[in-house]
Amino acid sequence: MPEERKRHIVVGTAGHIDHGKSALIKALTGVDPDRLKEEKERGMTTDLGFVFYGDDVTIIDVPGHEKFVRHMVSGASTIDFVMFVIAADDGIMPQTIEHLEVLKLLAIKKGIVVITKKDLVKDDWLQIVMDEAKKIMRDTFLQDAPIIPVSSITGEGIDELKKVLDELIAQTEAKKDRGIFRLCIDRCFIIKGFGTVVAGTVLSGKIKIGDTLELLPNKKKVKVRGIEVHNKKVTEVGTGFRSAINLVGAEKEEIKRGDVLAQPGYYQPSDFLNASLYLLKSAGKLLKNLTRLRIHLGTKEILGRIVFLDKKILAPGQKAMVQFRLETPAVCDVNDRYVVRTYSPQATIGGGVIIEPKATKAKGFDEKLIEHLQKIEAGDPALMIEENLDVNFELPRKVDEIAYDLNLPLAEVNEIINELLNNKKVLCIDEKRGLYYSQKNFEKLKNNIINILKEYHKNNPINTGIPQLELLKNISKGFDKSLLNYTLEKMSREKSVKLTDDNKMSLFDFKVVLDKNMDEIVKRLEEMFLVAEYKPPNYDAVLSQRLGDEKLVKKAYRYVLDTGILIFVGESIVMHKKMVEQAKEKLIQFLKSNKEIRISQFRDLLGASRKYVLPLLIYFDTHNVTIKRGEVRVLGQKYR
């Protein structure tokens, strides 16, 4: 950005065909904005014209013809204020009204009303037209705007207009910078010796020569070779400036008006946009669901169908939450204004604000979606970040993911995340990986886990707990593992759940309570394994003992294994815990006096056969009681 220039103002024109918009610009600047041959021949503007006014102002001339309203919308989409033109001899005409509606929908805040062709009418007629103008401006952003009658032919009133124009320019504040570079292209041309040049207004951010940018929707990487502002070469350019940018990496044929030049990684083309829509009173009739419309966004016109999210049908003068299903993808941002026009015949019927520029296909009357859109409608970054975390129940988020999702600068997201951490609205579940999760979701997740455990305990009263994998399956598909670990750990510390010895989760104070019948079977099972000592029965032998109803016996058997009363030592051999402990004691004692033990010695020690003794020894190996050294075993480290 040139140091001497702090800001740049873009002024637009608007008004009915032939009302003298282009002639007015020529009278103000000496330059004819109609640059096309066709325009000069027909005496009619067909496309946007760009003329410099002083050092810091560009005036965009728009066509008044009803066939070119789409160009008018694209021209008006980036202006700071408008010179609203009405011809004294013609008065209020259809595009006077339509352009006014467009400006209102685009939320243009200021302007000047210029009554042209003053030289063609008498004073009393001029007064009538001025009164009419006042009438249509009532309750609009132009209601207190100065009304200046001029003649572009005789020059009458032009000096006064310049004075008012300069005052308004001086009062206009620089556009707010959202940080991430974006420019909506309104022109693309070739300059001999340089190649492709695109022009447009920088809507946010800043670039310098050498930067790599992305052309969207084609997602083509390009490099900035040169930048011009007001025909002067500069090395960098920032928000609000109209600039011409010489690009390397794209041909003119690949670029159209309406394409977006942006900092890579943030903006994404999307087929679905969620927005609020206001249907103009002048729309005249009800707007039906799925109507095909022209959506004017930035400098682009896109065809698409409208889906009402919170209404079945929209009456003139009403507002609705809508989704646009587009025929070609759009690249836009939160808070962008848009205008909708009917497909055929074409007329402006409404417009609104983009709430979600990267939406997914929605159904009507999805209450959750409506609530979500209402929450972020105002476009407040903190609320948007909170909501982004809230809607991601399964996944903790990283700062850069949030920044890319919401087209917000990393530094801003970091700052807001810190605030949210301080306000306990967000928690960091993994500092190393920088993973953040919504406190609200965390409470919900903990509740879900408690409920799953309650349900599990109810249905499986003699199971000590739920296997972790089963718990994960019950929470939600695609759940992040580190989030689950964090949560379970935290819940264990808070003493709301516990991890059992065999890696199962249970409620903290859950204990298996056996009914009389089951208790009896468990006792008899224990008895059976104690009596058997080191020759325990196998599963079939247990069942054949008919200790009770077979189903119950099976349950009881699982219970004694789950609770560790019986221990599975290997090779389908199960022994009573007491026998295993006893064997361990004997083994340790033996090794303390003998240093090493052979299988045969262990066999004699327990008075059992090799079939049972070998798996038991291996069991002790894996539990580090013993270490196998060739044919013998020695005592494990921690028992020495």
Ligand X SMILES: Nc1nc2c(ncn2[C@@H]2O[C@H](COP(=O)(O)OP(=O)(O)OP(=O)(O)O)[C@@H](O)[C@H]2O)c(=O)[nH]1
- The residues that touch Mg ion, with contacts defined as CB under 5 A, are 21-22, 45
Q: Which of 7, 35, 65, 206 binds ligand X (CB under 6 A)?
A: 65
Q: Which of 8, 21, 182, 337 binds ligand X (CB under 6 A)?
A: 21
Compute the least distance from the CB of residue 341 to ligand X, in Å: 18
Place of tokens 């408690």: 450
Which one, 114 or 384, has the nearer CB to ligand X?
A: 114
201 interacts with, out of Mg ion, ligand X, none, CB within 5 to 8 A per kind: none
CA distance 548 to 218: 73
CA distance 67 to 50: 20
Which one, 152 or 276, has the nearer CB to ligand X?
A: 152
Compute the least distance from the CB of residue 118 to ligand X, in Å: 6
On the question of a cis peptide bond just before residue 264, with omega within 30 degrees of 0, the verdict is no
Place of tokens 């994960």: 472
17 interacts with, out of ligand X, Mg ion, none, CB within 5 to 8 A per kind: ligand X
First to last CA, the chain: 76
CA distance 19 to 45: 11
CA distance 415 to 412: 5
152 interacts with, out of Mg ion, ligand X, none, CB within 5 to 8 A per kind: ligand X
Compute the least distance from the CB of residue 157 to ligand X, in Å: 9
Cα–Cα nearest to 556, from 568, 544, 543: 543
561 interacts with, out of Mg ion, ligand X, none, CB within 5 to 8 A per kind: none
Which one, 85 or 261, has the nearer CB to ligand X?
A: 85
Token digits for 10?
A: 């873009």
Which one, 64 or 304, has the nearer CB to ligand X?
A: 64
Which one, 12 or 20, has the nearer CB to ligand X?
A: 20
Q: Which of 43, 94, 284, 317 binds ligand X (CB under 6 A)?
A: 43
Which one, 25 or 488, has the nearer CB to ligand X?
A: 25
Which one, 83 or 369, has the nearer CB to ligand X?
A: 83
Angle between helices 577-594 and 516-532 (to 10 degrees): 30
Token digits for 100?
A: 């006014």
CA distance 499 to 468: 9
Token digits for 447?
A: 């509740």
Which one, 44 or 421, has the nearer CB to ligand X?
A: 44
CA distance 346 to 66: 8
Q: Which of 29, 35, 44, 162 binds ligand X (CB under 6 A)?
A: 44
**Residues near 75 by beta carbon (within 8 Å), at least 6 away in sequence:** 12, 48, 60, 61, 62, 186, 299
Q: Are residues 407 and 180 in contact, defined by beta-carbon separation less than 8 angstroms?
A: yes
Alpha helices, H only, 355-480: 367-376, 381-391, 399-406, 410-422, 439-459, 468-475
Q: Are residues 301 and 294 in contact, defined by beta-carbon separation less than 8 angstroms?
A: yes
For ligand X (CB under 6 A), the number of binding residues is: 20
H or E element, residue 614: helix 610-622
Is residue 512 close enough to count as binding ligand X by CB under 6 A? no
151 interacts with, out of Mg ion, ligand X, none, CB within 5 to 8 A per kind: ligand X
Stretch that binds ligand X, among 20-28, 329-337, 341-349, 598-606 (CB under 6 A): 20-28
Q: Which of 1, 10, 11, 18 binds ligand X (CB under 6 A)?
A: 18
Compute the least distance from the CB of residue 98 to Mg ion, in Å: 16
Which letter does DSSP use for residue 637 in this model? Answer: G
Residues in the chain: 640
Place of tokens 């399964």: 394
Compute the least distance from the CB of residue 44 to ligand X, in Å: 4
Which one, 88 or 255, has the nearer CB to ligand X?
A: 88
Q: Are residues 121 and 87 in contact, defined by beta-carbon separation less than 8 angstroms?
A: no
Stretch that binds ligand X, among 61-69, 398-406, 563-571, 621-629 (CB under 6 A): 61-69
Is residue 74 close enough to count as binding ligand X by CB under 6 A? no
Is residue 20 close enough to count as binding ligand X by CB under 6 A? yes
Which one, 153 or 450, has the nearer CB to ligand X?
A: 153
Q: Which of 9, 11, 14, 23 binds ligand X (CB under 6 A)?
A: 23
Output b/e per residue, 172-191; b: 16+ Cβ within 10 A.
Answer: beebebbbbbbbbbbebeee
Stretch that binds ligand X, among 3-11, 38-46, 390-398, 553-561 (CB under 6 A): 38-46
Q: In terms of DSSP bridges, do strands 182-191 and 260-262 run parallel, antiparallel, or are they unpaired?
A: antiparallel
**What residue is closest to ligand X based on CB?**
64
Contacts with ligand X in 108-167 (CB under 6 A)?
Answer: 116-117, 119-120, 151-153
204 interacts with, out of ligand X, Mg ion, none, CB within 5 to 8 A per kind: none
Is residue 60 close enough to count as binding ligand X by CB under 6 A? no
Cβ atoms < 10 Å from Cβ of 195? 16
243 interacts with, out of ligand X, Mg ion, none, CB within 5 to 8 A per kind: none
Which residues are near ligand X by CB under 6 A? 17-23, 43-45, 63-65, 116-117, 119-120, 151-153
